[in-house]
Amino acid sequence: MDADFMLKSLPLYIEAIGLILRLCLFSVFFSLVIGFVCALGRYYNVAVLQRIAGVYIELSRNTPLLIQLFFLYFGLSQMGIKIASFPCAVIGLSFLGGGYMAEAFRGGFMAVGKGQIEAGLSIGLTRYQLIRYIVLPQALEVAIPALGANIIFLLKETSVVSIIALADLVAVAKDLIGMYYKTAESLTMLVAGYILLLLPLVVLLHLIEKRLRYAEFGN
């Protein structure tokens, strides 16, 4: 193992980690918003939104991210619609993640008893108040493990964005191997980079889930 080479290539990996973190920040935010809206529309049986959400969820969950990125970056450009690499990756990851987040939120919403909804309506709560004070707190407790798993899934899916000319960890490792033939060193740095990204996130999500369980049973 060439320690000097690994040390010299470290800034490239750090820059790639920063890119992945920015991608995840935007894509997780948008996928949560999309998933919440879709799940809420299906939960309240809003006919038009329910149909659109159903088609969207099936499409997003049953097409690979690689194909989605190819279509967004290369396919749309053939139609005269050019999207830069970073926004394209955010759109692709958000489109993919939104379908999974919708199912996670829907599972949480379905866990809230109908009796509680009826009780809220009987005391004059508005639909917004029902969501804010009754449905959402209980739904999140149920949905947090699935939402956390989806966030980790999205983070790992960033490994394919190099196909649209983004210098992520995989792209950096491939370039270094191609230029210097330092396969072992480059792959070691690649694995270390993903561990550095994933391990703190897994620990954080575990602590959040543990805290929610403690709050639930502690009360």
* Residue-by-residue pLDDT tens, the chain, 219 positions: 788 888 899 999 999 999 999 999 999 999 999 999 888 888 777 778 888 888 999 999 888 999 999 999 998 888 888 889 999 999 999 999 999 999 999 888 888 777 777 777 777 777 777 778 788 888 888 888 899 999 999 999 988 888 888 888 899 999 999 988 889 999 999 999 999 999 999 898 888 877 776 655 555
Q: How many helices and strands in the chain, by DSSP H and E?
A: 10, 0
pLDDT at residue 112 in the model: 79
Provide the pLDDT for residue 113: 73
CATH of the domain at 158: 1.10.3720.10
CA–centroid distance for 78 within its chain: 28
Phi (first) and psi of residue 133, to 5 degrees: -105, -20
| DSSP, residue by residue, 140-174 | HHHHHHHHHHHHHHHHHHGGGGGGGT---HHHHHH
How much is the pLDDT for 213?
67
Q: Which pair of tokens denotes residue 208?
A: 């959040």
Domain that holds residue 11: 3-218
Cβ-contact 19, 166 below 8 angstroms: yes
C-alpha to C-alpha distance for 75 and 69, rounded to whole angstroms? 9
Contacts of 116 by beta carbon, 8 Å cutoff, 6+ apart: 134, 138
Q: Which two tokens stand for residue 171?
A: 């792209």
81 class by beta-carbon count within 10 Å (0-12 exposed, 13-18 middle, 19+ buried)? exposed
Under a CB-based contact definition with an 8 Å cutoff, are residues 202 and 153 in contact? no
Look up residue 1 and give its amino acid.
Answer: M
Predicted pLDDT of residue 216: 55
Q: Residue 182: which residues within 8 A CB-CB, separation 6 or more? A: 2, 5, 176
User: Considering its fold, how many domains does the chain have in total?
Assistant: 1
How far is residue 86's CA from residue 66's CA, in Å, rounded to a whole number?
15
Please tell me the distance from the alpha carbon of residue 47 to that of residue 11, in angstroms, as a whole number: 51
